[in-house]
Amino acid sequence: MHSFRASANLKTPGDDRALGYGGTLYLTSTRLLHIGQVTVNVHLHDIVETSVAGERLLITLRDAQGLILDVDRPRLLRTEIAAAMRGVRP
């Protein structure tokens, strides 16, 4: 495991839930996994782009879908995801 966030809120664009889904976020060498109110599994090779907006990490996926993660230190998580995608631990 490369990283985890004990408190992560997950939303998808167009989702009408104001607060999203709470849970724990895990970053491994092959995937990003959100476990909590819902479980979401994203393979790193499906991530096309990551960007930071305020305190949120925006993730664009290969299938034109997206995720919004409200996490502590989103810029660090973005760097950790990039390192995991390269196969290098930060």
* pLDDT, tens only, 56-68: 999 999 988 899 9
Which range of residues forms the domain containing residue 64? 3-86
Distance between CA atoms of residues 64 and 48, nearest Å: 9
- Say whether pLDDT at 51 is over 50: yes
Residue 11 in contact with residue 20, Cβ under 8 Å? yes
CATH number for position 37: 2.30.29.30
Contacts by 22-26 with C-beta closer than 8 Å and gap 24+?
Answer: 25/69, 25/71, 25/77, 26/1
For the ranges 5-14, 21-30, 50-59, 65-74, which has the lowest average pLDDT? Answer: 5-14
Has residue 24 got a pLDDT over 60?
Answer: yes
- Is the pLDDT confidence value at 30 over 60? yes
Residue 70 CB neighbours (<10 A):
18
The domain tally of the chain equals 1
pTM of the shown model:
0.86
Residue 7: predicted pLDDT: 93
